[in-house]
Amino acid sequence: MSVSIYIPTPYRRHTNGVSRVEVEAGTVRQVLDRLVAQHPALAQQVFDDKGEVLQYLGIFVNDEEVHSLGGLDIELKPGDELALIPAIAGGSEDIQFTEEQIIRYSRHIILKEVGGEGQKKLLKSKVLIIGAGGLGCPAAVYLAAAGVGTIGIVDFDRVDLSNLQRQILHGMSDIGRPKAVSAKESIAEINPDVNVVLHETALSRENALDIIKDYDVVVNGCDNFPTRYLVSDACVLSGKPLVDGSILRFEGQATVFMPGKGCYRCLFPAPPPPGTVPSCSEAGVLGVLPGIVGCIQANEAIKVILGVGETLSGRLLFFDALNMEFRKLKLRRDPNCPACGDNPAITELIDYHGFCGVPNQAHVS
Ligand SMILES: [Zn+2]
């Protein structure tokens, strides 16, 4: 007699994603034995080491708990349906590492500051990267390798030969293709655990809050002032941590803005007049520099997710690649800041191109 078993979401990794399994059986106990025979990885989710059904696993026959019906040896009828319902706390499903994941993340798991719990936090975390360019590429590579479970990428640009000097997610065969698509393919090759979500659009006052709301941390790899102020204001309004980075020629900057602890406007209340600060395409950038700054951003994002160490919150890291100097400058939240101050004037996103006095054309270096 064929019996159908409902497999809850936390266990589907052991059934190749299948939510219903059919077995031939006459009693509940036979159903469970046949189920684990078909899917041996389920055995430790169902039975303890004495072969008894786990205390924290509920077994239901046609929506009735099996013990209320007489136990595991009751006779089943054709058409009966079983469901395995594990106890869960707080609505968040526990991640069970696969053997491959234990090997993949072993160097993290043995660190006491990360451990199995930290690795699970990374796997559950969602990081949004603004731009798959010079900063976004190295940040994405290390966040993906670290097992950040969801990486969102905002980019509408296409790969150009001049990008390959530093944008390490892209290769020769990607020239002319969308950067977001190229980034997704490269990440899949590094770590198939990562779900890459593409936002192939320019971040704007119309879409920024909607895109950012689904993420835990934002990593900013943009190269223009309107987007920099837009991302900062959007993170303040959404209460999201922002890991900021910027580069030009041989100089890099990085910092972390935690909610309530200051923002980009506290540091730079107004952008420089248009034309006074050149872009990387005008002034150049040493290719390895965004690699270093982007890796620092990945490092800070991981610390924010894990809640370990001291992040760059309240400090601006200033890096001179030519003289090999790192400086850390203190940052303070400005109580008069129009975005994150005590009486903020900015309560919704504004016209950032107008604010910065530049035409509306955003590109990521
Ligand atoms: Zn501020």
For ligand 1, the distance from its centroid to the CA atom of residue 334, given in whole angstroms, is 6
For ligand 1, the distance from its centroid to the CA atom of residue 266, given in whole angstroms, is 4
How does pLDDT run across 54-71, given as a tens digit for each residue? 877 888 888 788 888 888
Q: What is the pLDDT of residue 361?
A: 58
How does pLDDT run across 16-32, given as a tens digit for each residue? 778 888 889 999 999 88
Q: What is the pLDDT of residue 278?
A: 81
Helix, strand or coil, per DSSP, at residue 68: helix
Q: Supply the DSSP string of 43-61, one letter for each residue.
A: HHHHB-TTSPBPTTEEEEE
Domains detected in the chain: 2-86 (3.10.20.30), 125-356 (3.40.50.720)
Residue 297 amino acid letter: Q
Find how far residue 9's CA is from the centre of its chain.
Answer: 20
For ligand 1, the distance from its centroid to the CA atom of residue 258, given in whole angstroms, is 11
Say if pTM beats, i.e. exceeds, 0.85: no
Asked whether the predicted pLDDT for residue 199 surpasses 80, the reply is yes
Q: What is the pLDDT of residue 352?
A: 94
Helix, strand or coil, per DSSP, at residue 173: helix
Closest to 223 measured CA to CA, from 86, 325, 130? 130
Asked whether the predicted pLDDT for residue 363 surpasses 50, the reply is no
For ligand 1, the distance from its centroid to the CA atom of residue 348, given in whole angstroms, is 14
Distance CA 346, CA 348 (A): 6
For ligand 1, the distance from its centroid to the CA atom of residue 339, given in whole angstroms, is 5
Using pLDDT thresholds of 50, 70 and 90, give the confidence band for residue 276: confident
Query: What residues contact residue 240 under an 8 Å CB cut-off, 6+ apart?
Result: 212, 215, 216, 217, 218, 234, 259
For ligand 1, the distance from its centroid to the CA atom of residue 340, given in whole angstroms, is 4
The helix (H) or strand (E) run that includes residue 329 is strand 325-330
**What residue has token string 């910065």?**
356
Query: With left for phi above 0 and alpha for psi between -120 and 50, is residue 97 left, alpha or beta?
Result: beta
Distance CA 317, CA 86 (A): 47
Distance CA 104, CA 124 (A): 16
Q: Which protein residues have their CB within 5 A of the ion that is ligand 1?
A: 263, 265-266, 337, 339-340
For ligand 1, the distance from its centroid to the CA atom of residue 134, given in whole angstroms, is 26
For ligand 1, the distance from its centroid to the CA atom of residue 280, given in whole angstroms, is 26
Residue 118 amino acid letter: G
For ligand 1, the distance from its centroid to the CA atom of residue 203, given in whole angstroms, is 20
For ligand 1, the distance from its centroid to the CA atom of residue 49, given in whole angstroms, is 56
Taking each helix axis from N to C terminus, what angle separates 288-306 and 136-146, rounded to the nearest 10 degrees? 40
Q: What is the pLDDT of residue 93?
A: 61
Q: Which of 45-54, 75-84, 342-351 has the highest mean pLDDT?
A: 342-351
Residue 149 amino acid letter: G
For ligand 1, the distance from its centroid to the CA atom of residue 202, given in whole angstroms, is 24
Q: What is the pLDDT of residue 181?
A: 97
